[in-house]
Each structure stands twice: as C-alpha cells, then as structure tokens.
Amino acid sequence: MESAIKAAILQRDRFTCIACRRRTPGKIHHILSPRLGGSNEPQNLVTLCGSCQMLASPIPVATLQRYFQLDERELLRRKAKVEIAIHRWVLRGPPLTPPPPITSEPSRTPKPPKSATRRTIVKKKARPRQGRVWTPDEDAALVADFHARLPFEALAARRGRGVFAVHVRLHKLGLGEVAHPYLDDLP
C-alpha cells in the first residue's frame, strides 16, 4: 500500500483506532482482505491500533491468548468488540468531512501566520518512547527505579514517557497499591 494512501486514511480517521478510540500512529486494516478481493480503496480501509489489528486478524485464538494473557472467553469478547466496531464503521461509512487529496508527493504543512503581537509558538517537548510498547528491559528498569524511590517525574523522564504512563505501567506490574512518597502529591 502506498504511503500516501496510508497517510490519507490516518488523517481521515484522525489517528484514532475505530474500535477502542485510542490515539494511535495507526495500522491500516483492510475490511475485506486483498486475498478475498478487497482493494486499497479508502472505503475498504480503516485505522486500528496494534492490539485491535491483532484481534481483527486471522491469528489463531491460542496464539492470541498467550500474547494478551487472557482466558478464551475474554479474548473472544474483545475480538467481537473489534469486529462490531468495524461493522458499525461499514454501515455508518467514513466521516462526512472529505479526506485530503491523495498525492504521491509529501504534503507540506503551511507555516502559521505571524500575529500582530508576535507571540512565539512553544512546541511541546517530545517524549521519545510515547505510544510505544513497554519492553521487558524497560519494565525491569522502571521497577528498580521505583523501588529506589525516585519521583514519578524522574521515572517518566528516564523512560521517555509521561507521568501518567508510568503510573499506569506500575499498576499493570502490580505496584499500583504500593506506598510511594510522591503518590500523595497527585490528584
């Protein structure tokens, strides 16, 4: 699939998974597989996050169970949710706002106009690991730093992630209920 088509589909879907509504750099999913005669036309393509893409794919249930570490019933429930979301999208159709034209050349974003007050535009500092999957090495380093009682801001800065992402990951690792000197500072 051409990168211009992929970019247009991601923009059309606003870089959001149509199944779980998470912001995502995006995987483009064919509603009707090319093996079954599906095309690369925009009406046959939707944006899914990596997890939902796997759930919508023909990967065997046993493999998905090992990957997601879920029992069969919960896994099938999640697969059904993704399939229902795709069917709803097909019935509803793409958003009413037309997608940007598909061109083979990269689009250039225009510079913002200079205002009369000459305000400067402050860019947010990028988090290099934002939106990426946590690796086992990162998990081990995060747990070690957590037990060393580093502040959450330091944990986040060392991992290249946001403070909230660190909180969520610690909770998933079973450390969400552990007392930490900086937990009381957060709302």
- DSSP string covering 33-85: -GGGT--S-GGGEEEE-HHHHHHHS---HHHHHHHHT--HHHHHHHHHHHHHH
Which pLDDT belongs to residue 187? 45
- pLDDT higher at 111 or 26: 26
Average the pLDDT over each of 55-59, 82-86, 178-182 and give the range with the smallest value.
178-182
Domains and CATH numbers, the chain: 3-92 (no CATH), 136-185 (1.10.10)
Token readout for 88 is 């709803």
Which pLDDT belongs to residue 81? 92
The contacts of residue 51 (CB under 8 Å, 6+ apart) are 20, 68
pLDDT interval class at 37 (50, 70, 90): confident
Which three-class secondary structure state does DSSP give residue 109? coil
Mean pLDDT of 110-134: 60
CA distance 158 to 152: 10
Among residues 136, 123, 134, the alpha carbon closest in space to that of 167 is found at 134
- pLDDT higher at 68 or 178: 68
Mean pLDDT of 106-111: 54
